[in-house]
Amino acid sequence: MNIVAIHGSPRQGNSSAIADRLLLSAEKTGAKTESYYLNSLTYRGCQACNACKTKSERCVVTDDLTPVLDAILAADVVVLASPVYFGDVTGQFKSFFDRTFSFFTPDYRTAANPSRLAAGKKLVFIQTQGQPDPAFFDDIYPRYERIVKRFGFTETRLIKGVGLAGPYSPEAVITYLDQAETVAAELAAKGDVDW
């Protein structure tokens, strides 16, 4: 199993710690893992050039995000991790995610299969927030889930860490680290785990 994690936080805090625990647990079961920390990369968001719909099957912008997009193409499981900043994912994450538009085929609006990604990939979305009310920011994950399902991700899972204001604290995130270990174990137990 090949797992790639995309870290959207500008600092390696709570969301990164949860993603790292999932990857570490998965590695212990034999999974191959890879992580990308978006804040350490130099890249641009989508340029709306539509070259990925007219003259190429991939994003034609060449920068530090190019290997990240390639890693997603090759992955069985993708872990997307971001804290909530100003009511949404971070700017780093949003600019990255806009570039995944290149995963759609030219006829993505009407095609039965609108994706260039292999079907059957799994997604773990890690969302952390300072707001302790779990109902807050419930709109974030469903928006991204709709898109990744169109990409062909057949199973998605949310780990939502709430009340995590401030720097990383192992005591504050212990419940979510445990959830990450459980998800890794489920992935290892059988590839077709139904979430």
Residues 55-93 have pLDDT tens digits of: 999 999 999 999 999 999 999 999 999 999 999 999 999
Q: Nearest CA to 72 among 26, 7, 3? A: 3
pLDDT reported for residue 169: 80
**Backbone phi, psi, residue 70, to 5°:** -65, -40
Beta bridge partners of 36: 6
Segment holding 144, helix H or strand E: helix 140-150
Beta bridge partners of 119: none
Q: How far apart are CA 92 and CA 85, in angstroms?
A: 11
Q: How far apart are CA 11 and CA 89, in angstroms?
A: 14
pLDDT reported for residue 195: 43
Give the chain's residues under pLDDT 70.
190-195
pLDDT reported for residue 165: 86
Rounded to two decimals, the pTM is 0.94
CATH homologous superfamily for 2-189?
Flavodoxin domain (3.40.50.360)
The answer to whether the beta carbons of residues 193 and 76 sit under 8 Å apart is: no
Where are the domains positioned within the chain? Answer: 2-189
DSSP for 46-73, please give it. Answer: -----HHHHT-SS----STTHHHHHHHH
Burial 143-166 (b: 16+ CB within 10 A, else e): ebbeebebbbbebbbbbbbbebee
pLDDT reported for residue 22: 98
